[in-house]
Amino acid sequence: MALPTLSLESNQNAVLAFSFFIVVVSFVSWMIKKSGKGNLPLPPGPRGLPIVGNLLFLEPDLHRYFAKLAETYGPIMKLKLGTKLCIVLNSPSVVKEVLKDQDTTFANHDALAGVEIITYGGNDIVWSPYGAQWRMLRKVCVHDFLNNTNLEAGRAFRRTEVRRTINKLYGIAGTPINVGEYITQTIFNTMTSTLWGGTLRGDEGTTIAAEFQKVLGEIVDLLGKPNFSDLYPIIAPFDVQGTRRKMKRLLSWFDRIFNTIVSQRVEINKAAGGGDKETKDFLDILLQLHNGSDPKAQLTMSHVKALLLDLAVGGTETTSTTTEWAMSEMLMKPELIKKAQEELDSVVGKDNILQESHLPQLRYIEGIAREVLRMHPGLPLLIPHCPSVPATVGGYHIPLGARIFVNVWAIQRDPSLWENPNEFMPERWFTANNGKLDLNGSDFRYFPFGSGRRICAGLNLAERMLTIILASFFHSFNWSLPEGTKLELGEKFGLVVKKRNPLVAIPTPRLSNPELYAA
């Protein structure tokens, strides 16, 4: 059969159609190229591989690895971790653009895998998106609970738990102890007493406290581990590493405990006739808002549980880790412990019990606290931020959805900003330059608790706990290492960077009267 032939008219139409197609494609390409001339580039960064990006080149301690890359690529750089674009900020100037100049744009945290589960659907203050709900939760935490009045009212809780720990250490003085365990237990007991008082008592309270502390550690470990769901969001629904499943298990445990705590508190309040207490813990405040009539400030029970969990996790893990780092750094330089004890003996005396009212006079102890927060910030990369719209930082384009790491660890050890940055020197805080720095994130050379809208809500409480424990430990005891052991400062990277090996030390009583060690 002969093939059909095209008419002259058909050939002309085909040529016209093809020519029109070429013109359209050329015009679109020209427009794209022209518009691209005005676009800003992404920040510089190391080249990655297809699919995996820079994943195979990462080193275990991300904060140190990012600082090393910054020497080559500058104060703002990009990495591709899987399919996720990550931007790392390593200097005060670019951090200021993000956390101050464009604070609203970068006010969201980039939620990690499993976060929506453990936060009761994003109903907490840490991971809730910036907006009306977050502002309400922030107000509840900062203005209704962590205000100066309530912080002062919490002195009794802090004193009770610190004195209890001092008494325990006195009972085992002269033997090596895991210092971190005692610090963590003290802070955990203080936080839970502050959050929901003595609702759980006796054997039940002791058992739940031990399990609760263990589960808090599991949550922090889960959040700090690399997760394929974060690096390849397209596979997140499959929960390849089982993070969501593990979080659901932990949430089920918390639900059981929180339901017990809440129901017992409701019964206690009913038995007391529902009258107003002279002092209220956080649970009282939350339940009052839960039962309130103001729709703008009314909390659901999910809000109540999520906020309690937030403060229990945040208030325990970061503060206890930072305190252990401080003890370790001081034991590396025993002469610093002597200086601290000289100040304590002068202000408090060896025949007296240290009180929180002494703290404003203890400048050297304050210097120790400021210095450990400089060298060992609780969250060395803070919690990752995420722009709500495309933005420009440092002259570079930051796309919507990028994960923003703020390397506060690198900035606070930058030799161009700090003299002898890797030396633990409490005295540096007595100079005119550094003495003006505070913890409020107003100077981007030093912001261990973050800055802007998302600055840590509990920074004042954390500072008090850190200083009261350090002052009490150094006032009540001399400290030494077990014979034949060597102290090291290796790190174990995670959301919170802990010591690789726990601090083991020996406390020896130094106060004149044994009764000063009573709980």
**Average pLDDT rounded to a whole number, residues 44-71:** 96
Q: Which residue has the tokens 């002092």?
A: 279
Q: Mind listing the pLDDT tens digit for each residue in 291-310?
A: 876 777 779 999 999 999 99
pLDDT band at 6 (very low <50, low <70, confident <90, very high): very low
Compute the distance between CA of residue 455 and CA of residue 448 in angstroms, rounded to an integer: 9
**Which residues are within 8 A (CB) of 506 and not within 5 positions of it... i.e. 6 or more apart?**
174, 175, 176, 177, 479, 480, 481, 482
**Least reliable range by pLDDT among 36-40, 287-291, 347-351, 397-401:** 36-40
pLDDT at 36 over 60: no
pLDDT at 507 over 90: yes
Structure confidence at residue 29 (pLDDT): 42
- Report the CATH number of the 113-375+423-517 domain: 1.10.630.10
Q: How far is CA 143 from CA 128, 148, 309, 314, 457, in A?
A: 18, 9, 18, 18, 10
Compute the distance between CA of residue 79 and CA of residue 43 in angstroms, rounded to an integer: 9
Compute the distance between CA of residue 110 and CA of residue 476 in angstroms, rounded to an integer: 43
Structure confidence at residue 201 (pLDDT): 58
The residue ranges of every structural domain in the chain are 113-375+423-517
Compute the distance between CA of residue 408 and CA of residue 87 in angstroms, rounded to an integer: 14
Q: Which residue has the tokens 């203050």?
A: 125
Q: Mind listing the pLDDT tens digit for each residue in 487-501?
A: 999 999 988 999 999
pLDDT at 58 over 90: yes
**Average pLDDT rounded to a whole number, residues 40-46:** 97
Q: How far is CA 465 from CA 165, 175, 318, 342, 471, in A?
A: 13, 25, 11, 21, 10
Give 433's DSSP letter.
Answer: T
Compute the distance between CA of residue 488 and CA of residue 193 in angstroms, rounded to an integer: 34
* CA dihedral sign, ordered 66, 72, 75, 78: negative
Give 513's DSSP letter.
Answer: -
Question: Residue 374: exposed, middle, or buried by beta-carbon count in 10 A (0-12, 13-18, 19+)?
Answer: buried
Q: Where are the beta strands (DSSP E) in 1-90?
A: 76-81, 84-89
Token output for 100: 């101050």
pLDDT at 9 over 70: no
**How many percent of the chain have pLDDT more than 90?**
68
Compute the distance between CA of residue 152 and CA of residue 460 in angstroms, rounded to an integer: 11
Highest mean pLDDT among 78-87, 183-192, 256-265, 290-299: 78-87
Q: Mind listing the pLDDT tens digit for each residue in 140-165?
A: 999 888 888 888 888 998 999 999 99
Q: Report the chain's terminal Cα–Cα distance, integer Å.
A: 108
Q: Mind listing the pLDDT tens digit for each residue in 328-342?
A: 999 999 999 999 999
**Which residues are within 8 A (CB) of 32 and not within 5 positions of it... i.e. 6 or more apart?**
none
Structure confidence at residue 206 (pLDDT): 64
pLDDT band at 270 (very low <50, low <70, confident <90, very high): confident
Structure confidence at residue 200 (pLDDT): 56
pLDDT at 34 over 50: no
**Which residues are within 8 A (CB) of 363 and not within 5 positions of it... i.e. 6 or more apart?**
343, 430
**Hey, is 272 helix, strand or coil?**
coil
Structure confidence at residue 129 (pLDDT): 95
Q: Mind listing the pLDDT tens digit for each residue in 107-145?
A: 999 998 899 999 999 999 999 999 999 999 999 999 888
Beginning with the edge strand found earlier in the chain, give each strand of the sheet holding 76-81 in spatial order.
76-81, 84-89, 403-406, 385-386, 108-109
pTM of the model: 0.89
Token output for 404: 């923003």
Bridge partners for 76 per DSSP: 89
**How many percent of the chain have pLDDT more than 70?**
88
Structure confidence at residue 24 (pLDDT): 41
Q: How far is CA 226 from CA 82, 222, 294, 352, 479, in A?
A: 11, 9, 42, 49, 37
Compute the distance between CA of residue 56 and CA of residue 221 in angstroms, rounded to an integer: 22
Q: Please, what is the average pLDDT of the chain? A: 88
Structure confidence at residue 215 (pLDDT): 85
Token output for 262: 């809440």
Structure confidence at residue 21 (pLDDT): 41
